[in-house]
A and B are shown apart, each in its own frame.
Chain A
Amino acid sequence: MKEEIIIAGFGGQGVLSMGKILAYSGIMQNQEVTWMPSYGPEMRGGTANVTVILSDDRISSPIVHEFDTAIILNQQSLDKFESMVKRGGLLLYDPNGITAPPTRTDIAVYKTAATAEAAKMGNAKVFNMVVLGSFLKVKPVVKLENVVKGLQKSLPERAHKLIPVNEQAILRGMEIVERLMPES
Chain B
Amino acid sequence: MSELRLMKGNEVIAEAAIRCGCDAYFGYPITPQSEVMETLMELRPWEAGGMVVLQAESEVASINMVYGAASTGKRAMTSSSSPGISLMAEGLSYLAGAELPCLVVNVSRGGPGLGTIQPSQADYFMATKGGGHGDFHLIVLAPSSVQEMHDFVFLAFDLAFKYRNPAMILADGVVGQMMEKVALLDPRPRRTREELLKEAGSWATTGKSNRTRNIITSVELDPAKHERFNQKLQAKYAEIREKEVRYEELLCDDAEYLIAAYGISARIGQKAVELLRAEGVKVGLFRPITLYPFPAEQIAARARQLKGILCVELSAGQMIEDVRLAVGNGLPTAHFGRNGGVIHSPNEVVEAMRRIFEV
Q: A residues bordering B, Cβ < 8 Å?
A: 20, 23-24, 27, 32-37, 39-41, 59-66, 153-154
Contact = CB atoms under 8 A, between A and B. Distances in A.
Interface stretch (B65-73, B128-136, B187-195, B343-351): B343-351
B178 A27 contact: no
Contacts of A65: 345-348
A61 B285 CA distance: 13
Given A34-B180, A35-B180, A64-B346, 5 more contacts: A36-B177, A39-B31, A62-B174, A63-B174, A65-B345
Interface of B: 4-6, 31-32, 116-118, 173-174, 177-181, 264, 267-268, 270-271, 273-274, 343-348
A153 B7 CA distance: 11
Nearest to A53: B180
B267 A60 contact: yes
B10 to A, nearest CB: 11
Nearest to A66: B347
Given A32-B181, A35-B178, A63 B117 contact: no
A63 B32 contact: no
B181 A27 contact: yes
A64 B271 contact: yes
B180 A33 contact: yes
Contacts of A24: 6
Contacts of A41: 117
A41 B173 CA distance: 14
Nearest to A150: B6
A38 to B, nearest CB: 9
Q: Among A37, A63, A64, which residue has the most Cβ atoms of chain B within 10 A?
A: A63
B268 A61 contact: yes
B108 to A, nearest CB: 14
A61 B179 contact: no
Contacts of A20: 6, 179
A27 B4 contact: yes
23 contacts: A23-B6, A24-B6, A32-B181, A33-B181, A34-B178, A34-B180, A35-B6, A35-B178, A35-B180, A36-B177, A37-B178, A40-B31, A40-B116, A40-B117, A60-B268, A61-B270, A61-B271, A63-B268, A63-B343, A63-B346, A64-B346, A65-B347, A153-B6
A136 B5 CA distance: 22
Contact of A63 (B5, B6, B118, B345): B345
A9 to B, nearest CB: 19
The 5 closest A-B pairs by CB, nearest first: A61-B271, A65-B345, A60-B270, A35-B179, A60-B271
Nearest to A37: B177
Nearest to A33: B181
A31 to B, nearest CB: 8
Contacts of A34: 178-180
Contacts of B181: 27, 32-33
Contact of A62 (B6, B178, B344): B178
A31 B236 CA distance: 43
Contacts of A35: 6, 178-180
